[in-house]
Amino acid sequence: MWLLRTLWQIDEPATGDATQFVHLLDGGVLVTTVDGDAGDGLYPMRAWRAGDVVIDERRIQLPVSSRSQLSVAIGLYDRQNGARLKIVAANSPVVDGALQLGAPGGPGP
């Protein structure tokens, strides 16, 4: 099992109803998802205030058999329409609106 800890900071109050997604990929293929609000679902983004820093932890169950190409994709999406929110700055690759952590064929996140 992996423990993924993310730190989020909000500069302006959130509008709409966005939530986080965490996808475990094996060789680019979706294996499992751990989506939902921060704090085990108890702290939705619509409750965050400007200046808040939110630390969120997700436990990701690893597959029994793996091609050893595990990576994680994270981001935010609008619950109303499923559209992913745009990532405006990142130090890791962004693919299809998701921040890529780890790389297929490389070490995990």
Kindly list the domain boundaries of the chain, sorted by start residue: 2-101
CA distance 22 to 82: 14
Its pTM stands at 0.83
Structure confidence at residue 67 (pLDDT): 61
CB neighbour list of residue 100: distance below 8 Å, 6 or more residues apart? 71, 72, 73, 92, 93, 94
Q: Does the pLDDT value for residue 107 go beyond 60?
A: no
CB atoms within 10 A of CB 97: 15
Q: Are 37 and 19 in contact (CB under 8 A)?
A: yes
CA distance 96 to 109: 19
Q: Looking at the domain that runs over 2-101, which CATH code has it been given?
A: 2.60.40
Q: What is the mean pLDDT of residues 44-64?
A: 90
* Predicted confidence band of residue 98 (pLDDT cuts 50, 70, 90): very high
Q: What is the mean pLDDT of residues 6-10?
A: 89
Percent of the chain past pLDDT 70, that is, above it, reads 90
The pLDDT mean for the chain works out to 86
Model pLDDT for residues 57-94, shown as the tens digit of each residue: 999 988 877 666 888 999 999 999 999 998 888 888 89
